[in-house]
Structure 1
Amino acid sequence: MSAESAEYATFGLAPAMRPGGVLPTGAYQMHRDFLDFSIDGRPLLLRLADLDAVSPLAADLGPSLLAAQVRRLLLEDGPPLDGGRRVIYGCPECEGPACGAVTAVIERDGPDFVWRDFAWQTDDTVDLRLNGYTGLGPFRFEGVQYRAVLERLLESDAESPERPARRVLLVGRRAAVLTKLAAALRGTGIGAEITHDAAGAAPDELRSYGAVALGRGVDEAERAAVRQAFADAGSTAVLVDGLAPIVPLLVAQIEEALDRCPQDERRLLRLVAERDGDTLTATLTVAIPCRVRLTGYRLDRLYRTRTTELFDGQLAAGEHELAVDGLAGEAFVVARTTGGVLVARVGR
């Protein structure tokens, strides 16, 4: 379909997240909140299965950088790439072109804006026959609606829903675990603070958190006080009950809690893990074809963390039962894909 014959599509923006985490190697994967491009009500990134990338409209951009990205999408400055091409999605870990990026030609056609010739680009030029996304676009957007959606970003302040809170409050008894967890969260790009008296914090402070994580050593009276303090402050923070003093597991729990994407726009929909004798079965429901990694965690008798890679492979859309080697004792499973993470306790 040529740009001239492209039918009109609606343009919008949808909250999206690339979850961070502590990898089995000990390295950190960066957490990135961003706005995805929604075309006819469906996030564009979901049409690019397994693409680990973020849009230029990242939540951690300052006002001037965000305004510059909006101007580029509105064609108020020259294209940064040859052939009128602009970056639609880039590497979540860096801004360098060497990692590759999804680019497209964005042009005006009368009052309309047209996105066409999507491709994966790693150099100054792109070969559409080799690296083009066949069947994706072109998309024609009515100019007034397209411009209104983007210009609305410039009117949003730092407290708007489009800029999610990337801070977590940690409440627990074990100082060593809390310190390691805070360091891990900060390593992934999430702010983290530790407290022993959340109930005494100022309401404005409590509203600045996206989640509050409670260690399992916190008694019920203190849990109730924390919940009441956040409720009285009008906070929308998600309360996370820590499953075990395992830092990568707790990071995954917090990442799951920070995911504000609508359920029907997620790649991973449901995870259940059950043990029958020596066999562990993980039942996972995925929305679109994607690569999934399953990792098992447990504490040994000396309270040391044991990590087991259970599965790493491509899955089709639908429900899958994956039989893997069982994990002894109290255990947990984390499922990860490029755009989401789920955590489950192993049941009997």
Structure 2
Amino acid sequence: MSQLSVLSVHKQQRTGFPCTFEYGDFRIDGKRLYDEVLRQYPHMDDIGCLGFGPETFQREQIGKLLLLENADFPDGRRALYLCPACGDLGCGAVSLRIERRDSQFVWHEFGLQSAGDTTGTLTPLPGIGPFYFDADAYGRTVRSAYGLGGFHWPTPRP
């Protein structure tokens, strides 16, 4: 059995385009996961897939991370970080593979990809993961992000 990590989701405020809004930011063992992505791609400008958008979008994102919904990409990968303006996978995403192994969820094979890329190109993010989470704690954490930043798309305010 691999060493278990602790996943948490914290409310994060994003300022800038398209407006100021809140979403769920992933932390593993207390460290912000997105900082690991930024070390390799310092100009990346995505947000965590949880806690923002309408209720249907949020339920779908939770279902994807719990393996209850279809994957985002044909190769079985799931988006973890998305475009802050629209959440569209064509804008590019940080994706990963998620597996359920007995009483654990495993996050591994992090990379960058876009639904708009017909070649299926994946840019690996080496050195991030794998992470092993207790399945029960993981489920509670992912579900806890529901409604974290409200139930609306980020839109500029007049």
RMSD over aligned Cα, in angstroms?
A: 2.4
Residue of 40, 47, 50 corresponding to 1:57? 50
Which structure has more relative contact order (CA 8 Å, sep 6+)? It is 2
1:18-97 paired onto structure 2 within 5 Å: 18-20=14-16, 29-31=17-19, 32-49=21-38, 50=42, 51-59=44-52, 61-97=53-89
Q: SS of 1:46's equivalent? A: helix
Q: How many angstroms apart in 2 are the aligned matches of 1:71 and 1:188?
A: 24
Q: How many angstroms apart in 2 are the aligned matches of 1:139 and 1:73?
A: 14
Q: Residues 74 and 57 (structure 1 numbering): CA distance in 2 closer, same or farther, change over 3 Å?
A: same
1:166-220 deviation line (CA, Å, top 9, x unaligned): 9xxxxxxxxxxxxxxxxxxxx9624x6xxxxxxxxxxxxxxxxxxxxxxxxxxxx
Aligned length: 148
Q: Are the counterparts in 2 of residues 6 and 138 from structure 1 also a CA contact under 8 Å?
A: no
Aligned to 1:7: 3
Please list every run of at least 4 consecutive aligned residues from structure 1 whose deviation after the TM superposition is greater than 4 angstroms. none
Q: Which runs of 5+ in 2 are unaligned?
A: none
Q: How many angstroms apart in 2 are the aligned matches of 1:58 and 1:107?
A: 22
Q: Cα offset for 1:96?
A: 3.2
Q: Which runs of 5+ in 1 are unaligned?
A: 21-28, 157-161, 167-186, 193-348
Question: What amino acid does structure 1 have at the position aligned with 2:3?
Answer: E
Q: Cα offset for 1:58?
A: 4.1
Residue of 110, 130, 149 corresponding to 1:163? 149
Question: What amino acid does structure 1 have at the position aligned with 2:149?
Answer: R
Q: Are the counterparts in 2 of residues 14 and 43 from structure 1 also a CA contact under 8 Å?
A: no
Q: Which has more strand, going by share of residues?
A: 1
Q: Which has more helix, going by share of residues?
A: 1
Q: Residues 77 and 98 (structure 1 numbering): CA distance in 2 closer, same or farther, change over 3 Å?
A: closer
Q: Residues 100 and 64 (structure 1 numbering): CA distance in 2 closer, same or farther, change over 3 Å?
A: closer
Question: What amino acid does structure 1 have at the position aligned with 2:141?
Answer: V
Q: Are the counterparts in 1 of residues 24 and 149 from structure 2 also a CA contact under 8 Å?
A: no
Larger Rg: 1
Q: How many angstroms apart in 2 are the aligned matches of 1:12 and 1:92?
A: 20
Provide the identity percentage.
28
Q: Cα offset for 1:43?
A: 1.6
